[in-house]
Structure 1
Amino acid sequence: MELAFHSYYGSLAIGSPPALFDVAIDTGSSDLWVVGPWCGKVCDGLDTFDPLSSTTFHNLSLPFSVACFLGSASGYVAEDVVEMAGFSVRGQAFAVIDEISQDFLISPTSGRLGLGWRSDAASNHTPFAQNLVSSGALDSPLFSIQLARYSNISNAEKLEPGGVLTLGYIDTDLYTGPIEYIDVSGGSLRWELPLESISMQGSSLQLSASSVAIIDTGIPYIVGPASVVRSIYGQIPGSSLAGGDFEGFYQYPCSTRVNMSFSFGGSMWSVNPADFYFGQVNSSVCIGALIDGSDSSTWILGDAFLKSVYSVFRYDPPSVGFASLSEAALADNGAGDPVPTPTMASDPTEVTVVDAATLGLGLSPFFAATAVIASVVWLL
């Protein structure tokens, strides 16, 4: 029995002198947080941030807490220098975590980098990427993501190359054809799009007119309303709710090639059948990556969807763009390459420094920032 839990992460540094941390890349949240030295046995073996080790640390003495599908964490809000991929933000707000639920973090990650908007920040402070945009540090007000998959999960190492995150520009080598942008829904400042329709095994399913999808690199699943998820699995003969160790998931015959697509802005985007597979009960019964758990009209499209597209998250105008992956991007999937090394720039001439929550700074030279992502897999 196995489930393919995983997390995509990148490296950043906090403090003076800088301390390096691996953090999950999460477009579904808006806060940067890392575990502190008092988070207990749950954090054994993880790199923890020690406020006493940084000369630029400032405790804001504000309580902080987050909760999601994967777990919960609490601590306090502080400010310090945060650096990633050639950009450094002075006075960046982040949270130091004192308490965290079991299994919220997958080693070696020590926290999460929320790439959402300030309107969703539990800290009520501007996120790292949005500070870069507001200050004018980025060549373009956007970031883009390509997530790799494994060609054979059973042969995956604990750490594998996971794809590419770029800050401020679009990597034209990683996609083909046009990038199709969809404005965020109803003017909401989050990476949430109007969802037009869903197709499963060639059949279209009815959705409410208010249906939206949150584009979320922070979870491995696709999450939908219980009634619609039940109808979707009804299109797969032999599928049913799983039990035992797989309670909360659906199971389906491994011999079935699952064809699932989502429609945004008039275009259909398909989930690769390899990504719909989330594990297996035995040699003939597989577990699906589609689960129920959201409200009546909200979907969450996590890594199971995003591994099939090149994604661009644009701040101005607020929108998300999808494009088909290039042959070069597809060739990286499961290629067995070594895990990339951290990409925090160490040469001061390659670091663009900005102040948190300041506007209109003319910063040069522009440093084309690429943060390679590594992926962590648990096989249970």
Structure 2
Amino acid sequence: MVTKLLIYPFIAIRLHLSFCNNHILFLSIHMVLISEKKISFFFLLLSFFFFFLFSFFFLSFFFFFLFFFLFSFFFLSFFFLFLSFSFFFFLFLSFFFLFLSFFFFFFLFLFFLSFFLSFLSFSFFFLFFSFFLFFFLFLFLFSFFFLSFFFLFLFFFFLFLFFFFSFSFFLSFSFFFLSFFFFFFLFSFFFFLFSFFFSFFLFFFFFLFFLSFSFFFFFFLSFFFLHYSFLMYFRLNVLVDTGSSNFAIAAAPNNLITVYFHRKLSSTYESQDITVEVPYTQGKWKGILGSDMVTLNGASNITVRANLACITESSNFFINGSNWQGILGLAYADIARPDSSVQPYFDTVVQDTGIPNMFSMQLCGTNSLSAPEDNFETGGTLVLGNIDETMYQEPIYYTPIQRTSYYEVLITDIQINGTSLGLDCKEYNFDKTIVDSGTTNLRLPYTVFQAVVDKLKQAVWVVNQRPPNMFWKGEDMLCRKNSDVPFNSFPTITIAMATGNNSEFHLVIPPHQYLRAVGDASTSTNNGDCFKFAIAGSDSGTVIGAVIMEGYYIIFDRANKSIGFAETTCQVQNSQTIKSKIQGPFVSKVNTSTCLFKTMEPNDTSLLNVAYILAGICGLCAIPLIADQELELLTPYGQAEKDKGIQIQEMSIVNTFTVHLDVPFKFTGRIYDTINLTKNGVITLGGVHPEDPQKASWENIPQALPLTTAYPLIAAYWTNPQITEHGDLWFQQTMDKKKLEGIKRKVQCLYPQNKDLVAKWAFIATWENITSSTDLLTVTNTFQIVLVNIEDYSYVLFQYGNLTWTSWKMPDNKTDENKIQSAVAGYNGGDGTLCSQRPGSNASVGCPLVPSSRNYTWSSAGLVLLEMETQAEVVIMRTLILRPQTPKDENLEAQNQVKTSSFCQRKCHL
């Protein structure tokens, strides 16, 4: 280890990145699939053995024919018969060696191809071996060609002698000698026929047998050698992603890729037998964790045993025509899947080689403005362990890494043409800001995104026409003739980055970075250059993606927990393009410490992008509830359960928190994959307000149901809470079997007639220690909304831990007197007809689905269950009351008496 520390600390590993017009980065890696020593020595022995075997049979039959030639010469009495046999024999040998020449020329071609692939794959042992076989085969080929032409020459020479001596013979000898000659000619001729057919028999049954055997063996041997020399070291392209931590490669056949990792053929691969599944915004993959020897292209002297996930199943991860077969995550271990014990690849390189804990990127993008989406070019460099001074211009500005999970930084302001958006700096970092090479666009929280689009619309005036409305959503292109590139019509965007000590520097982003060139508009009447808007809304915080990173040289200094930005030396695309700039330092106009959006979870173990996964549809059933098991009032929540937490006081700035669901939820006959959490004890489903993305279909003051708003809502305890100092909002999505089992038992309590019920997914939102806007802070409520998918049904559970206040005083504008306002619980379908209200809440005549006889007091801790009968699109509210041991309530029928440590009475009301 001391040697490594002395050798590597000052060595920078340069790795060239491939880049395409859709701004996806590729890095080539070498995978060691088979132990080189074992397989190379095996093929070397086999090759020499069968080459020598073939040579032995060839030489044996050559001497056999030589003996046959001498034997014929002894018995054939007349010279011209010998000549006649000889020149035919030489002609046969000439064609025979010519055939062998072409035969070995074919093997020469195969091994030359193997030699070429070995050279490409940097397998030096096989490079030497292929060169040796190349020389050996070339020697055979030259020898056979020489013998072929030599015997061809003998053929023509003896043919000449035959005609010459035959003519002289008939002129010189008498008829007697001619008769004697004819007798011996007949004898010799028949002997010649016998010898010929006998040798022909031996030739076909012995020589051709071994020849054909050798031919087919060497044919398959050559292809096996070619195959394994290709698989010994082969290249894989992987996405370079600073927004994730797993290193994963394809390990199973897929119609969308041409090469994958062969685990069974690798003697160095070690499986950990742990299944890992990673979802993204537009896809997912599933695989098995393991480890193997990995070498990055351009760093052939750096080979480490790295953790890798072998992708066996995927959905929308590999796209048609994709040029990658995996992903290389460079973020911290905190967000590795399935947990932080999986050491990321770069951590392994730092640990095993001793290089400094830093890397840098120069992303130049493609050089062509009008290029197809699948145009892959070398447009970037990844430097491990150091900084390349030729890739940037001084100075370097550093911003601190806020939390070591993603590469999280802090934005203090965003400006359009030098004018600030004027938003609270927390808005820019809601709920985090990260630098992510695996994301194409600049993604902004919806409030910030809408403000940016509004400012751009005011600033942009294109002479021919305004950009189409769908252009701002990234769903349409802006196309112009080649001479009318719209860069001059769009303003610059400035992102202010915090440096610490209330100072900042500015990233000045020119239009060509957020207008992504996508090639010619072949279907448009205005053929020319086309662009897409490379800024998008986000519900997972701000993401500085590849289109912004292209303009700068970026240093990820993990050792000092900071990220550096410098102006890049990359060339601009054309004369109309201005380079990205960095300005500063400046004194920040805000207290930068207040810009960080504070969350209460220790680490966010989920990836940035959440998958959209279609849920399976099955039948509804339930298992009998075990009487001895305890039902919890509240599903476990909080920091210990790895919930994501938001302080209610933060919600005074951001009114709603949008969450994408891992599994779609069906509610009142519609499917939703997005929900909005509010501070008021309400969940809204689906879209957001068209004018204000952060305003959902709710108000601070509870309203009687039904509402005519277009957005459905679920209210567990719709109130007007105190938001200045107290209360937390926790939420998580879970597939944890233990939690799902507890939720399932509560649902099953209401359906004891069903069996084999299986819960697949749940979303749990908890409002903890919520105080009213007028009461003391010591009077608090805690309650939950649980969304759960169980087989073909969806359920909503209202779970109340403690309810210590049920109403509050609100001033009446007409009488200037305080008015008592009560909380509301129930749901609203959004169409003015489907609704349900919990008995005892604000009265409404439009909700007939709740039986009026099911009244109970607000002060009871308990649970309310909404059953979504999705096939009939009918919603039925059923109640399950859980409370500590109290005198029997005469208004409720006790069905089961269960004595446990926490609960002494359970009542199921159907």
Give the alignment's TM-score, normalised by structure 2. Answer: 0.33
In 2, Cα distance between the equivalents of 1:231 and 1:239? 17
2:32 to 4, 10, 15: 15
- Secondary structure of 1:5 counterpart: coil
Question: Structure 2 vs 1, CA of residues 203 and 252 (structure 1 numbering), >3 Å: closer, same or farther?
Answer: farther
1:74 is displaced (CA, Å) by 1.1
Q: How does 1:83-162 map to 2 (within 5 A)?
A: 83-84=295-296, 85=299, 86-90=301-305, 92-102=306-316, 104-105=318-319, 107-124=322-339, 125-138=342-355, 140-155=356-371, 158-162=375-379
1:123-173 per-position Cα deviation (integer Å, ceiling 9, x unaligned): 4311111122234521x2211100012343313672211211011111000
Aligned partners of 1:51 and 1:57 also within 8 Å: yes
Aligned partners of 2:21 and 2:375 also within 8 Å: no
Give the partner amino acid of 1:215: V
More strand by share: 1
Give the partner amino acid of 2:516: F
In 2, Cα distance between the equivalents of 1:320 and 1:250? 34
Partner of 1:309: 552
Question: Structure 2 vs 1, CA of residues 118 and 111 (structure 1 numbering), >3 Å: closer, same or farther?
Answer: same
- Secondary structure of 2:548 counterpart: helix
- Are 1:50 and 2:288 an aligned pair? no
Partner of 1:167: 384
Give the partner amino acid of 1:196: T
In 2, Cα distance between the equivalents of 1:319 and 1:68? 26
1:41-79 per-position Cα deviation (integer Å, ceiling 9, x unaligned): 3x3x43111101210111111111112234211111111
- Are 1:322 and 2:322 an aligned pair? no
Aligned partners of 1:65 and 1:75 also within 8 Å: yes
- Secondary structure of 2:448 counterpart: helix
More helix by share: 2
- Are 1:229 and 2:441 an aligned pair? no
Partner of 1:189: 405
Question: Structure 2 vs 1, CA of residues 214 and 104 (structure 1 numbering), >3 Å: closer, same or farther?
Answer: farther
In 1, Cα distance between the equivalents of 2:293 and 2:315? 27
- Are 1:278 and 2:516 an aligned pair? yes
Aligned partners of 1:200 and 1:260 also within 8 Å: yes
Give the partner amino acid of 1:172: E
Question: Structure 2 vs 1, CA of residues 165 and 70 (structure 1 numbering), >3 Å: closer, same or farther?
Answer: farther
Partner of 1:65: 277
Aligned partners of 1:149 and 1:307 also within 8 Å: yes
In 2, Cα distance between the equivalents of 1:133 and 1:36? 26
Q: How does 1:209-228 map to 2 (within 5 A)?
A: 209=426, 211=429, 212-228=432-448
In 2, Cα distance between the equivalents of 1:120 and 1:113? 13
- Secondary structure of 1:83 counterpart: strand
In 2, Cα distance between the equivalents of 1:253 and 1:163? 27
Partner of 1:34: 249
In 1, Cα distance between the equivalents of 2:552 and 2:317? 28
Please say which of residues 251-260 and 309-318 is displaced more in the overlay: 251-260
Please say which of residues 253-262 and 5-14 is displaced more in the overlay: 253-262
- Are 1:257 and 2:495 an aligned pair? no
1:257 is displaced (CA, Å) by 2.2
Give the partner amino acid of 2:331: G
1:186-212 per-position Cα deviation (integer Å, ceiling 9, x unaligned): x33321101111112322122443714
1:240 is displaced (CA, Å) by 6.3
Partner of 1:358: none
Structure 1 stretches of 5 or more lacking a match?
A: 335-380
Aligned partners of 1:34 and 1:96 also within 8 Å: yes
- Secondary structure of 1:196 counterpart: strand
Aligned partners of 1:279 and 1:288 also within 8 Å: no
- Secondary structure of 1:274 counterpart: helix
Give the partner amino acid of 1:133: V
Structure 1 ranges of 4+ moved more than 6 A: 250-254
Aligned residues: 319
Structure number, greater radius of gyration: 2
Aligned partners of 1:72 and 1:104 also within 8 Å: no
Q: How does 1:193-212 map to 2 (within 5 A)?
A: 193-205=409-421, 206-209=423-426, 211=429, 212=432
Partner of 1:374: none
Question: Structure 2 vs 1, CA of residues 294 and 279 (structure 1 numbering), >3 Å: closer, same or farther?
Answer: farther
Question: Structure 2 vs 1, CA of residues 151 and 274 (structure 1 numbering), >3 Å: closer, same or farther?
Answer: farther
Q: How does 1:331-342 map to 2 (within 5 A)?
A: none
- Secondary structure of 1:52 counterpart: helix
1:236 is displaced (CA, Å) by 1.7
Give the partner amino acid of 2:537: D
- Secondary structure of 1:228 counterpart: helix
Aligned partners of 1:225 and 1:292 also within 8 Å: yes
In 2, Cα distance between the equivalents of 1:146 and 1:219? 16
1:318 is displaced (CA, Å) by 1.6
- Are 1:290 and 2:535 an aligned pair? yes
Question: Structure 2 vs 1, CA of residues 217 and 240 (structure 1 numbering), >3 Å: closer, same or farther?
Answer: same
1:277-334 per-position Cα deviation (integer Å, ceiling 9, x unaligned): 1257865985310011233xx20111110001000111111221111113xx327x69
In 2, Cα distance between the equivalents of 1:172 and 1:25? 22
Partner of 2:733: none
In 2, Cα distance between the equivalents of 1:199 and 1:250? 25
In 2, Cα distance between the equivalents of 1:257 and 1:279? 14
2:470 to 242, 246, 250: 242
Give the partner amino acid of 2:571: L
In 1, Cα distance between the equivalents of 2:415 and 2:476? 18
